[in-house]
Chains A and B, each alone.
Chain A
Amino acid sequence: MLFQKEYSFRGTHADKVNRLTSQFDSDASFKLFSRNIDVYVLAPIIGFLYGRKSPQDRKGSDTTTKIFTDQLIREETIMKYNYQLILLLDKKHEPSFDERINKAFRYYGNNSPETLTDEELYDQYVLGGIELLYEKLIENATNTEDYLNNLYDFIEEFNERYNETISDEKILDLCALARS
């Protein structure tokens, strides 16, 4: 079952996670992501939105970097939530809405072969997201200014692409509607 036991990034993904969580400014110890788990939380969303999946890299370098179990369990709520979001919306993976609801809510963590496939899908989004974050935020950056510009450009681009037309009121209205 996901989010219950230690998670390891391997190969090129581990390298990229290391870069995403390492200090990029010698003076002020700035990091883009504070911890590995922050990358792990954000990456699947990015992977899914940008349609980027990637298998585990077992051929590249033998670097590994881990997230420990207790940390995963503490953050389980948010990761479970993200897992549900993705499985509810991935129509390519499962065209039937009813079945997507089942996958998101009923089968979550039941260790059936189908669920293990779903979890595998989620992991591929995680790794695809890492690649994308690396490309957007790290590649071509040589100094503090570059890192900051990359981060801002990425958020700005993301805002334009996905968030510009969304208002919090609209979401809250929908919540009320869904609960009634």
Chain B
Amino acid sequence: MLLKQLKLTNFRQFIGEQTVEFAINEEKNVTVIMGENGSGKTTLAQAFTWCLFGDTDFEDKVVFNRSFERKMLPNQEAVVRVELSLVHNGIDYTIIREQLHKKDSQGRLKGNNTTISIAYKRNGQQEFVKYLEVDPLLKQILPKELSRYFFFDGERIGNMSKEIKKGKSQDFAKAVRGLLGLNAFISALEHLKPTSKYGVIGSYNDSYDSKSDQRISQYTTEIEKAQEEVDRIDLRLDEINNEIEKAQEQADKINALLLTMAETEKLQQDKMKLVNSMGKTRQARSSAMGSILKQFNSNYSTYFAKSLVLRTLEELSQASKLDKGIPDMHARTIEFLIKRATCVCGAKIEFGNDAYKELNKALEYLPPQSIGMSINQFVVESELKIKSSNNLFESITDQYKAIRDYESELEQCTADIQLIEKQIGDTKRIGHLQQDLSRYEKIKRDRINELKEINQRKGSLQTTRDRFISERAELTLRDEKNKKIEIYKAYAQFMYDELNKVYKKNEDETRQKLERYVNEIFRSIYQGGMSITVDERYNIQVLVEDENGYSDDVETSTAQSISVIFAFISGIIKMARENGSQQDGENKLLDSEPYPLVMDAPLSAFDRRRIKSVCDALPKIAEQVIIFIKDTDGELAEEYMGAMVGKRYLFSKKNEFETYLIPR
């Protein structure tokens, strides 16, 4: 299958009709479609999936262009259409998927179911594939199981690499085998399969002549019944194994979680310690604050007045008002002495004499006329204040510093607690986890028991079946006609066994070759001591080889995962291409088609060096490469793939609902 053209009509943001042609030339097989984030790369990649399978990975399942929707009138109809033109098996096909949308009278948009049709050219005439043949043809062109690997989304790589590593269904293995050209073998084997009712051997079984003995047909029925049940059991065994594996996986996950929970408990204790110490620190901070305020309130009056006191005292001490008063003497004392007419020294006091004059002069310096005593009082008060005061600033500074320390301690504690909480995560889930764990353990036990049971049942059914087969064989030998059939059957069985042998050998070789190719390609992209193995179901394992040759399955990083998937897909494509180009001839046992590789943002997880190796490798491996890419990676890709690029497009985004594809 090679892609020629994609035509979109009103598909999501691609308004109107827009067409992309893909480079198909052998020399120039690369198409680069470049656009910034959100411009529509993923949408375009999804258009392929929608066209082929009618589904997208978008949350919003409406594919109709929103801008166009707005312009529609009530009761108006319009169609979303994607047309994909491709060449498959030398025939040009056009796959058309349409979805009719109608606006109802309330203006709500309703979409019908999508319809698909495939057109092809025969004798220059366009014809449509019959309805019932559409699905089988699509499966032949590209099996859905594999489509995601060919329409490759670099941003959803995580799940893909997990899928590819384990739990792949039979369908996947079948699809891979088909791509690898083993289909012819598989149908031949299916045709001859001895256990199938509808195969060659089955039809012989049906043609036994039971006239000679009723028991022959009875045995045949019994054998078929037993075989049917064995087949059912085989299917169930597959399921059970899958279920056990899944339950084990879940249990492992929970156990790992519970292990971290044990660490959580310790963290919880650490957290409590921190919370307690925070409480104490807060208390200490609070009491330091209280103490600062208390000191402020009891010392402010002296502290803030101190400079004033100093200045006042300086002025007062320079003045001469203070030293003239007689201590503890009052004006009343003088008045008493004058009235008594005798001084304390014994001198006579008479009106107008010297003593009288002297005493009256002293009155000026004595209370109440004198203020000397008031001043003295003031000075004494100052002295008392200063003596009883402490230095407010010094004493609160220490406490203030302590508070700052407490605060940074609190901050540290808060940060530590946050860190711990982050580590702890959601501890409330622990109860659920225990429940879940026992549920998964129970599922595992139950399934293992069932496994034992049905294996036993299978064994007994097989014994019964084989017994009937040999008894029937004995009976048939008695009749000539039936004897002949028995001989034909033996031939058919022999052919089946031989063919199976060749197939097994071929498949083995094919698988080993695939493994070799995958490893070669992987090493060219991703350096490092890793190798990939492919098992019978085409599941992949990545092994690390250490120096002692010891190897182990490993968790891979994103870049590794992408490289693995690249390598796997490229390996398949390379083999398919080789098979397709082999000369026709007797020895041509394998036959398959070349395939394109369509990749959305495949390089974003890689560094420059890897981008270069990927760009070197891909166009050589795949027949056709189509890359959707953001501008910076795109420039690199174009630089490295240069000569191989045949077509270039650019997304031009007008707004959220209108993007145009422009050839460059």
Contact = CB atoms under 8 A, between A and B. Distances in A.
A163 B374 contact: no
B378 interface: yes
A48 B308 contact: yes
A33 B313 CA distance: 29
Given A34-B297, A166-B306, A105 B374 contact: yes
Interface in B153-203: none
Interface in B547-587: none
A57 B541 CA distance: 87
Interface stretch (A7-15, A62-70, A114-122, A147-155): A147-155
A41 to B, nearest CB: 5
A84 B305 CA distance: 12
A78 B375 CA distance: 15
A84 B483 CA distance: 143
A30 B382 contact: no
Given A38-B297, A148-B292, A179-B322, A171 B306 contact: yes
A86 B286 CA distance: 37
Contacts of A174: 310, 313-314, 317
Contact of B306 (A78, A162, A179): A162
A179 B393 contact: no
Contacts of B303: 163
A174 B268 CA distance: 65
A175 B387 CA distance: 11
Given A105-B375, A172-B387, A179-B379, A27 B309 contact: no
A133 to B, nearest CB: 10
B104 interface: no
A180 B376 CA distance: 10
Interface in B366-389: 371, 374-376, 378-383, 385-387, 389
B370 to A, nearest CB: 9
Contacts of A159: 393
Contacts of A104: 378
A49 B308 contact: yes
A58 interface: no
B286 A28 contact: yes
A59 interface: no
Contacts of A180: 323
A81 B304 CA distance: 13
Contacts of B385: 81
Contacts of A141: none
A85 B305 contact: yes
Nearest to B369: A106
Contacts of B292: 148, 151-152
Contact of A168 (B286, B378, B386): B386
A166 B310 contact: yes
B61 interface: no
B376 A179 contact: yes
Interface in B283-298: 286, 289-290, 292-293, 296-297
Contacts of A48: 308
Interface string B301-344: 10111111111111111010111000000000000000000000
B300 interface: yes
A139 interface: no
Interface of chain A, main secondary structure: helix
B304 A168 contact: no
Nearest to B372: A105
Interface residues of B, number: 49
B240 interface: no
Contacts of B316: 88, 178
B638 interface: no
B204 interface: no
Contacts of A86: 308
A155 B393 contact: yes
Contact of B297 (A33, A85, A148, A170): A33
A42 B379 CA distance: 20
Contacts of B371: 101-102, 105-106
A145 B407 contact: yes
A137 to B, nearest CB: 10
A38 B293 contact: no
Contacts of A31: 293
B393 A163 contact: yes
Contact of B293 (A32, A49, A145, A163): A32
Given A45-B304, A163-B306, A81 B378 contact: yes
B286 A172 contact: no
B301 A152 contact: no
Contacts of B149: none
Interface string A15-37: 00000000001011011111000
A31 B292 CA distance: 11
B307 A163 contact: yes
B375 A171 contact: no
Contacts of B311: 89
B441 to A, nearest CB: 51
A30 B313 contact: no
A144 B289 contact: yes
A104 B286 CA distance: 43
A30 B400 CA distance: 15
Q: Which of A38, A82, A168 has the most CB of B within 10 A?
A: A168
Interface in A109-160: 144-145, 148, 151-152, 155-156, 158-159
A97 B313 contact: no
Q: Which of B311, B319, B378, B389 has the most CB of A within 10 A?
A: B378
Contact of A148 (B289, B375, B392): B289
A97 B286 contact: no
Contacts of B312: 84-85, 88-89
Given A101-B371, A155-B393, A27 B382 contact: no
Contact of A175 (B313, B392, B400): B313
Interface in B399-457: 400, 403, 407
A85 B310 contact: no
Contacts of B286: 27-28
A159 B400 CA distance: 15
A32 B315 CA distance: 34
A171 B386 contact: yes
Nearest to B309: A171
B300 to A, nearest CB: 5
B72 interface: no
A30 B289 contact: yes
A84 B393 contact: no
16 contacts: A33-B297, A45-B305, A82-B301, A89-B308, A89-B315, A102-B371, A106-B374, A151-B293, A156-B397, A158-B304, A163-B393, A168-B387, A168-B389, A174-B310, A175-B386, A179-B376
Interchain residue pairs A-B with the least CB separation, the first 7: A174-B313, A162-B307, A175-B383, A105-B371, A105-B374, A178-B317, A159-B393
Interface of B: 286, 289-290, 292-293, 296-297, 300-301, 303-317, 319, 321-323, 371, 374-376, 378-383, 385-387, 389, 392-393, 396-397, 400, 403, 407
